Chains A and B, each alone.
Chain A
Amino acid sequence: MGEVAAQIPTSFGQELRACLRCRLVKTYDQFRDSGCENCPFFKIDEDPERIVDVTTPNFNGTISMMDPRRSWAARWLRIGKFAPGCYALAVSETLSEDMQSLCQEERVQYIPPKRI
């Protein structure tokens, strides 16, 4: 195992949210307290207001990624480079343009969810 895992959700219900960029799933409180492990540049822990901007409760399916480096699923979902943890299979919202430009500034990839 290569690295430190992200926080694991402490509950399984409605309070779960998924990061709009990396799809990491945690509870609202976890995001508030420690931000997103994959997307520290969102600085959620510094500005908790941002939680609603960069995370969504609107996601579909979860995957507990134990070993993203060696998992086919991780590769398929393009989360192979993220920390182990729980991820959403799909999120249903897009990052706001502000946040997308933030991603650009940080030179990180943002792939908006595919629309049906």
Chain B
Amino acid sequence: MPRHREEDDDVDEDYDGLELEEEEEEDEGGSRGGGSSRQKRGRSSFFDDYAEEDSQEEEDDDDEDYGSRRGGKGAKRKKFSAARFVDDIADQVDDDDEEEEDGDGEDGFIVDTGTDLPDERVDRRRYHDRGFDENDEDVDDLERRIQERFSRPQEDYDEEATDVEQQALLPSVRDPKLWMVKCAIGREREVAVCLMQKFIDRGSDLQIRSVVALDHLKNYIYVEADKEAHVKEAIKGMRNIYANQKILLVPIREMTDVLSVESKAIDLSRDTWVRMKIGTYKGDLAKVVDVDNVRQRVTVKLIPRIDLQALASKLDGREVAKKKAFVPPPRFMNIDEARELHIRVERRRDPMTGDYFENIGGMLFKDGFMYKTVSLKSIIAQNVTPTFDELEKFNKPSENGEGDFGGLSTLFANRKKGHFMKGDAVIVIKGDLKNLKGWVEKVDEETVLIRSGLKGLPDPLAVNEKELCKYFEPGNHVKVVSGTHEGATGMVVKVDQHVLILLSDTTKEHVRVFADHVVESSEVTTGVTKIGQFELHDLVLLDNLSFGVTIRLENEAFQVLKGNPDRPEVALVKLREIKCKLDRKISVQDRYKNVISVNDDVRIIEGPSKGKQGPVKHIYKGVLFIYDRHHLEHAGFICAKCTSCVVVGGSRSGANRNGGDSLSRFSNFKAPAPVPPSPRRFQRGGTGYNARGRGRGGRGGRDDSLLGTTVKIRLGPFKGYRGPVVEVKGDSVRVELEMKIVTVDRNAISDNVAVTTPSRDTSRYSMGSETPMHPSRTPLHPYMTPMRDSGATPFHDGMRTPMRDRAWNPYTPMSPPRDNWEEGNPGSWGTSPQYQPGSPPSRAYEAPTPGSGWASTPGGSYSDAGTPRDSGSAYANAPSPYLPSTPGQPMTPSSASYLPGTPGGQPMTPGTGLDVMSPVIGGDAEAWFMPDILVEIHKAGEDSEVGVIRDVSDGTCKVSLGSSGEGDTILALPSELEIVPPRKNDRVKIVGGQYRGSIGKLIGIDGSDGIVKIEDNLDVKILDLAILAKFVQP
């Protein structure tokens, strides 16, 4: 290649000169301190020289390949050298004759820059240089040997361009540097090209190596050169470069970033979801219809945002107001509507596709969609994940009713890496194997090996991940991992193709998500329930002085149910639009001038929500926010005027005794909240006041350990006041102060409660009953039972215990699942250990109440049984002043800590278990004991055993001992028996409710609810765990 050689000599005088210089310097024994850049250049020229000579000798006949071969050499040498580097140095130190190795190392230095620290390199260079000094005459020989070594065909060079190899190319201090130069906006590429031209025209005058123009970086180009001066020289006189601007050096570690541009190699094909980047449709979802790669244009269909009125006037030639203050909402084009406005609609056939389009003023429409051809640059194709709503909208006009989310498969294009994991249940959605279900065995890049378990099919089966979708069944507990509901957990209640309907753990609302966006998880998160200082279900004051309850969290925003009693009004409110949280404790008066405080139960007696009932959660400006868990909208919150409501505390028993009025329909046995009727209320005698009186009478004497004692109030506005306690109710006591009776928190009084009397216990009992949420309180019960036996009315006792027992039950079975949760999410369940100990006692509790004959409980009695419902209000006031006096009871730690962490701690949960079971209670004559269920037998004075009920007659059960009923048969009273709570996947028998007697499979447990697949009809039902018993095949 003589031509090149010549050119080199002519053009690059500097080059040879440098080489000479370098050799001279080497003679000086490698003691070159400062001239690092010169050195560097010397080095590289040296290298180049070799390389060039290699090429010359090998490839004289092949001019074309000249360039590539040379580069190839360099890379190859580098490979060799990297391996030998270490030896290399060692050898050099004590044996300078290792010329060949040296040479090799030398090359390695130059190319293999990235692997070493700069300083080290300098050191090594010194060794090197010495080596060269002493063996100068061998250079030719060295060259020859190198040529021999590398004169293999060049194909084997960079056969695999792996990342590792790329690492070896990282820049070093001896490489040219990158300089950032400011240029005119939009001229970046032009400047780069002009500099190239200049270089060609001027030859080696310009000592820059390259110029980089990035598409995404405006206003700057990068120039690769050794010295800033070279850059300045090169850009001198360039039109679009601001020469007087500062030239910035790119730090060496950022150099690769400059050159690492993402190749926008995304398959933009039909049916890909994209988003518009600019204009009216900015941010809108669109679907690719056609791609013209040559012209860089893409045809998309999207939902038009067209103001037909404006369009009509525009087409008429009338003036259209220029100010486009608003963007018309997306709406499908209605051609008839357009015609009515006298807009000319042409129907044309597209010659290419044969489809008909309506052409309105140059815009094409079909099926209501607008078809738009835009530049590829004006759409975003990467990481487009349409939201559920968007897709739903997009599907509307197709009206095929299938709900098949058309380009669903394209959704998968944006899957994250590691989407599928071993063990995932999947379903094939495409190809011959469509609808085949299986489990992921192994994931290998895009190929997923699945195990189908089907005969005749190879196992495992390799399927492209694009053809797979995750598969879930109702009852699965899942966590949403992407999309708008990310982070939420819930139970799958319905599977509709690739769409799952979840019952969210947090909101108890139905959430629709793509199967692809969830993973199975036993974790129960409450999701995000807090933004800033605001939490879900807070009462907040908004900017415009309206107020409302936050009922749902979205991205950086709350859905707020406004305090509008006339109709439910929900607003989406950004965090900054919320002024403050309102948590003042206010009391208002109901229609009958009874006092309503927070947590009181009220019934709405007029207005749109008439008949609803629940505890008051917030009160503001005479508006109540009532929480009714049967109210499925607005997270269960109902807004009502206080004057439209009545306090229902006292009315329970009366109402229920009458049977089946609105109360029982709503099955809200909510007890009066801590506010007991005041004397005034007494006199006025609101609804069912008397009934309440009677109800109280029943329990009467029990609550009164404090009654009559004089106490001093420690906290609150009445701090320091003294007075006799006139009433004790839950965590509140009413204290008469100078003829004034006020309500204060129980914590807020300093009573002389150190008394521990049996009667105390009784009162505790009532408290306990009000707070079923605190399982650890149950230990109390044993000792009150005798007390009750003696003191309380039999009537009372009889119906109460079993009820309670039931009431407790829902919680008992919760313990095992809790364990699972703990596994799934160790961190979040710190409280469970405390919780669990509580459960067994609840069982123990029922033991000492034999023969209470609860089964005969008259219908009316369940009003009292409703007491547990007090929990709704009481549990919030967990700590009680009684605690100190009842040492050794685990209740406080657990009850306090229980709330935040455990799912049961969610406000709705206390109700859950109890409410669901209320029908059972209502139909109280119904006995839960049935044949073929597994029970635990607690006979007085004996250890408990498990057995299977074999026969029931006259209220006595024949029970076969042993978990499968293989043991002796004994007789037992139902009161001595307790259902053994079934576990997930157990076969269960439903012992209550309308499905009583049915057998099913417990496919999931959600708090106190069990999800049961009934065997007869395969229906999936959500039933209270309390009415589920483990079924044992006779």
List residues of chain A with CB under 8 Å of any chain B CB.
Answer: 1-3, 5, 8-9, 12, 14, 38, 40, 52, 56-78, 80-86, 89-94, 107-109, 111, 113-116
Contact = CB atoms under 8 A, between A and B. Distances in A.
Interface stretch (B154-162, B328-336, B523-531, B573-581): B154-162
B169 A71 contact: no
Given A8-B197, A64-B213, A70-B45, 4 more contacts: A2-B4, A61-B212, A66-B196, A78-B158
Contact of A85 (B196, B262, B296): B196
Contacts of B196: 5, 8, 64-66, 84-86
Most buried by B among A9, A69, A78: A69
A93 B269 CA distance: 13
A8 B255 CA distance: 25
Given A60-B215, A80-B71, A114 B171 contact: no
Given A3-B4, A109-B157, A9 B193 contact: yes
A113 to B, nearest CB: 4
B52 interface: yes
Given A62-B212, A76-B256, A2 B52 contact: yes
A72 B263 CA distance: 20
Given A9-B193, A58-B296, A66-B206, A89 B67 contact: no
A66 to B, nearest CB: 4
A5 B200 contact: yes
Interface of B: 4, 7-8, 11-12, 44-45, 48, 51-52, 64, 66-72, 74, 111, 153, 155, 157-159, 161, 166, 169-171, 175-176, 178, 189-190, 192-193, 195-197, 199-200, 203-204, 206, 208-216, 224, 255-256, 259, 261-266, 293-294, 296, 376
A60 B264 contact: yes
Most buried by B among A52, A83, A92: A92
A113 B215 CA distance: 17
Contact of A66 (B199, B264, B265): B199
A84 B175 CA distance: 18
B7 A2 contact: yes
A114 B263 contact: yes
B209 A67 contact: yes
Contacts of A85: 196
Most buried by B among A5, A9, A61, A89: A61
A1 B264 contact: no
A65 to B, nearest CB: 5
Contacts of B166: 76
B7 A1 contact: yes
B265 A115 contact: yes
Contacts of B175: 72
Contacts of B206: 66
B209 A71 contact: yes
B171 A38 contact: no
- The interface residues of chain A, by DSSP majority, are classed as loop
B212 A73 contact: yes
A95 B442 CA distance: 31
A80 B215 CA distance: 22
Given A63-B211, A70-B48, A76-B259, A107 B155 contact: yes
Most buried by A among B200, B214, B265: B265
Contacts of A67: 208-210
Nearest to B73: A81
B294 A38 contact: no
Contacts of B203: 1
B118 to A, nearest CB: 14
Nearest to B78: A75
A24 to B, nearest CB: 12
Contacts of B178: 73
A72 B176 contact: yes
B68 A38 contact: yes
A6 to B, nearest CB: 10
20 contacts: A3-B4, A5-B196, A5-B199, A58-B264, A58-B376, A61-B212, A61-B213, A63-B211, A63-B259, A64-B210, A65-B210, A66-B208, A68-B71, A70-B45, A78-B71, A89-B212, A92-B264, A92-B265, A109-B157, A116-B265
Contacts of A61: 212-216, 259, 261
A114 B350 CA distance: 37
B445 to A, nearest CB: 11
B426 to A, nearest CB: 23
A81 B70 contact: yes
A89 B169 contact: no
Contacts of B169: 75-76
Contacts of A108: 68
B709 to A, nearest CB: 75
A101 B648 CA distance: 84
Most buried by A among B70, B161, B210: B210
A8 B201 CA distance: 11
Contacts of A60: 215, 261-264
Please provide the 8 A-B residue pairs with the shortest distance between their CB atoms, ordered closest to farther: A81-B71, A81-B68, A64-B196, A71-B209, A72-B175, A90-B263, A80-B71, A92-B265
Given A3-B66, A66-B210, A76 B171 contact: yes
Given A65-B210, A66-B211, A14 B192 contact: no
A58 B377 CA distance: 10
Nearest to A5: B200
A92 B199 contact: no
Given A1-B204, A62-B189, A78 B161 contact: yes
Contacts of B51: 69
A12 B296 contact: no
Contacts of A75: 71, 74, 111, 169
Nearest to A113: B263
Given A1-B203, A66-B208, A40 B71 contact: no
A3 B192 contact: no
Contacts of B204: 1
Nearest to B267: A115
A93 B263 CA distance: 9
B193 A12 contact: yes
Contacts of A63: 192, 210-213, 259
A82 B370 CA distance: 47
Most buried by B among A9, A58, A63, A94: A63
A62 B178 CA distance: 15
A67 B205 CA distance: 12
B125 to A, nearest CB: 18
Nearest to A69: B48
Contacts of B255: 72, 76
Nearest to A79: B71
Nearest to A77: B259
Contacts of A74: 209-210
A89 B296 contact: no
Contact of A64 (B12, B44, B170, B195): B195
B263 A70 contact: no
Given A80-B74, A82-B68, A3 B256 contact: no
A89 B158 CA distance: 19
Nearest to B203: A1
Contacts of A89: 212, 214, 259, 261
A15 to B, nearest CB: 11
Contact of B176 (A52, A70, A77, A80): A70
Contacts of B45: 70
Nearest to A90: B263
Contacts of B209: 65-67, 70-74
Contact of A62 (B44, B213, B263, B264): B213
Nearest to B188: A62
Contacts of B197: 8
A92 B263 contact: yes
A78 B160 CA distance: 12
Contacts of A58: 264, 293, 296, 376
